[in-house]
Amino acid sequence: MKILRHRLTLGTVAPIQFLDVTQPVRDWVAASGLRDGLLTLLSPHTTARININESEERLQRDMTGFLKRLAPRDGDWLHNLETVDDRDNAHAHLLGLFMASSETIPVADGALTLGGWQSIFFVELDGPRPARSLDLQLMGPA
């Protein structure tokens, strides 16, 4: 069994942002040399998540609008009374309840087994942030 690890560094520019990371993830998997296995993607942040969905501009705007309505930034949140890092980000933590911090995708013949409309998103819930991380771990036969 071979295990490979990689970290993508990302920057975000909006309070809520869907970053399509499909291509850099595909590129790393292709360069890894592993033909079959499992890829796990992990966001090590409590206010950023991973999601597999369709990459369509209007849909992404719909998803952003939906999240803003689901947990408004200006809500009466207790977490915002005493912030840890001077960020009123209770809404981001609450939105994280509805998304996964990791995804696992099978790899077959050196490629991700995503459906035709599926893309991988890093979902920023507390931006903008100049530096975020996405951890990748690929496991498969050597």
Backbone angles phi, psi at 94, to 5 degrees: -65, -40
pTM of the model: 0.95
In the CATH scheme, what is the code of domain 2-140?
A: 2.60.120.460
Residue 134 makes CB contacts below 8 A (sequence gap 6+) with 7, 8, 10, 21, 41, 42, 43, 50, 122
111-135 pLDDT, tens digit each: 999 999 999 999 999 999 999 999 9
Q: Are 121 and 20 in contact (CB under 8 A)?
A: yes
What's the pLDDT at 142?
85
The pLDDT tens digits of the residues spanning 77-105 come to: 999 998 888 899 999 999 999 999 999 99
